[in-house]
Chains A and B, each alone.
Chain A
Amino acid sequence: KNEVEQSPQNLTAQEGEFITINCSYSVGISALHWLQQHPGGGIVSLFMLSSGKKKHGRLIATINIQEKHSSLHITASHPRDSAVYICAVAGNQFYFGTGTSLTVIP
């Protein structure tokens, strides 16, 4: 069983739609990260969370420590948001989720 589970695996949305990606984890953590990776590219850190909610532009990340669950929301999605979004948790080591591949269609 993977320590970090993400859903959905693949997501296609129309431009302008509100998008939610979910992440559940089973290990004790000190922080949860949301990462973005464009095709063939390196990884960009979007958020690091240990509680509550963070917002950056059109991106919002929330975490519920008791439920071991986090969500990444994208408001007013745009084709340039198309990428793989990876949830990762820092426990006694760094665990990656399998990623959510997002395609936003104009």
Chain B
Amino acid sequence: DTEVTQTPKHLVMGMTNKKSLKCEQHMGHRAMYWYKQKAKKPPELMFVYSYEKLSINESVPSRFSPECPNSSLLNLHLHALQPEDSALYLCASSQDPGGDYGYTFGSGTRLTVV
């Protein structure tokens, strides 16, 4: 299995909703990442988990809450989002935190906040 699987592929949520994005990999990668990508812009790093511990939080608002239940799973819990949070949310993983052995990206979750 050489993929990063993200679910759901599309999500529409209201500003008062609570939802979660899920990311899964079974490649034994020890680093996992959440990125946010707005249209026609490069991805922006949100969070990095290294060996299941949060190692980087790029000043992301608390309405985004990451969770790494085990080495294969990464969740992003969403609560009280704003319309400007609508974006493509990408998960990625790498064998080591430095990414020396390459990154694998998921296909993303397209989030729309209404």
- Residues of A at the B interface (CB closer than 8 Å) are 30-31, 33, 35, 40-45, 48, 86, 88, 90, 93-94, 96-99, 101
Contact A30 B104, CB 8 Å, known A96-B43, A99-B42: no
Interface string of B15-42 (1 = CB under 8 A from A): 0000000000000000001000000111
Q: Flag if B42 contacts A97 (CB, 8 Å).
A: yes
Set of chain B residues within 8 Å of A42, measured between Cβ atoms: 6, 90, 105-108
- Number of B residues contacting the other chain (C-beta, 8 Å)? 23
Q: Does B8 contact A (CB under 8 A)?
A: no
The answer to whether A45 touches B42 (Cβ under 8 A) is no
- Say whether B110 contacts A40, CB under 8 Å: yes
Shortest beta-carbon distance from B45 to chain A in Å: 7
Known: A41-B107, A42-B107, A99-B40. 14 other contacts (CB 8 A): A30-B99, A30-B100, A31-B99, A31-B102, A35-B105, A43-B108, A44-B105, A48-B103, A88-B103, A90-B103, A93-B45, A94-B99, A94-B103, A101-B40
Indicate if the CB atoms of B102 and A33 lie closer than 8 Å. yes
B56 is an interface residue with CB less than 8 A from chain A: yes
Which of A31, A45, A94, A98 has the most chain B CB within a 10 Å cutoff?
A: A94
B61 contacts A by Cβ under 8 Å: no
* C-alpha spacing A93/B90, complex, angstroms: 16
B contact residues around A93 at 8 Å (CB): 45, 56
